[in-house]
Amino acid sequence: MKKLIYISMALLVVSCSSGGDSTEKKVSNPEKAILVSPENNSECFEGQIISTEKSTVTFKWSAANFTDSYDVNVKNLNDQTTKLYTATGTSLDIDIDRGTPYSWFVVSKSKKSTSTATSDTWKFYNAGEGVTEHAPFPAEIVAPSYNEAVTVSNGKVTLDWTGSDVDNDIESYEVFFGEADPPGAFQANIQESVLNDVSVSPGKTYYWKVKTKDSQGNISNSDVSKFTVN
């Protein structure tokens, strides 16, 4: 009988002590927002005109779970300047230049987590007065990505990028490539957004950018990217 009592008491102690951590709550990290407008690769006519140089455009995105606020990053693709805005809702009115290409993305943030989530990056052209044709958007470097360490087996690397234009009239690309920054002209009149079999050497750092030209003679330049060969 005494043995049975001791066993019951031991089980009671175990059951009481095992629940000590049950009050801990798992923190959920903010999720990625989905952009809504201005739409990607489009011309934006929806802004409220302030002057011949400026208009107010409403940036919209979907609500992201576990998010308290959003950082809205808006980049002028002509002068490469970026401005940061903070919002607690899912839209924000921002004054931007007319007749100018922009890119933008949203970062979801939470007071309960140090983690953040970044949306896709969209590009658009903010309509200007009397503009009938548009320069291409600056090409986006895909691979090798910025500061990437590349391993090659045959001394060759493939340069890959994406190009887009509101008018859909991209005519050609020109690649600037080399060990100097800024890189010099390398190959022109490229029809596809890829350049294969570019010779590289181990232990060296290379810089490159892409110039995009459309059928009207308008041009745009990507940022300079760099990579190192292992």
pLDDT in tens, 183-203: 999 999 999 999 999 999 999
Four-way CATH pick for 137-229: 1.25.40.420, 3.40.50.300, 2.60.40.1220, 2.40.160.20: 2.60.40.1220
pTM: 0.76
Contact 83, 40 (CB under 8 A): no
Q: Read off the tokens for 113.
A: 């987590």
- Strands 48-49, 81-87: pairing is unpaired
The single-letter DSSP state of residue 31 is P
Q: What is the pLDDT of residues 81-127, one digit of tens each?
A: 999 999 999 999 999 999 999 999 999 999 999 999 999 999 999 99
Q: Do domains 35-126 and 137-229 have the same CATH topology?
A: yes
CA distance 106 to 156: 36
Phi-psi region of 155 (alpha: psi -120 to 50; beta: other; left: phi over 0): left
What class, spelled out in words, does domain 35-126 have in CATH? mainly beta
Domain extents in the chain: 35-126, 137-229
Per-residue pLDDT of the chain (230 residues; tens, 9 = 90+): 445 444 445 444 444 444 555 555 788 999 999 999 999 999 999 889 999 999 999 999 999 999 999 999 999 999 899 999 999 999 999 999 999 999 999 999 999 999 999 999 999 999 987 666 789 999 999 999 999 999 998 999 999 999 999 999 999 999 999 999 999 999 999 999 999 999 999 999 999 999 999 999 999 999 999 999 99
Residues 6+ apart with CB under 8 A from 6: none
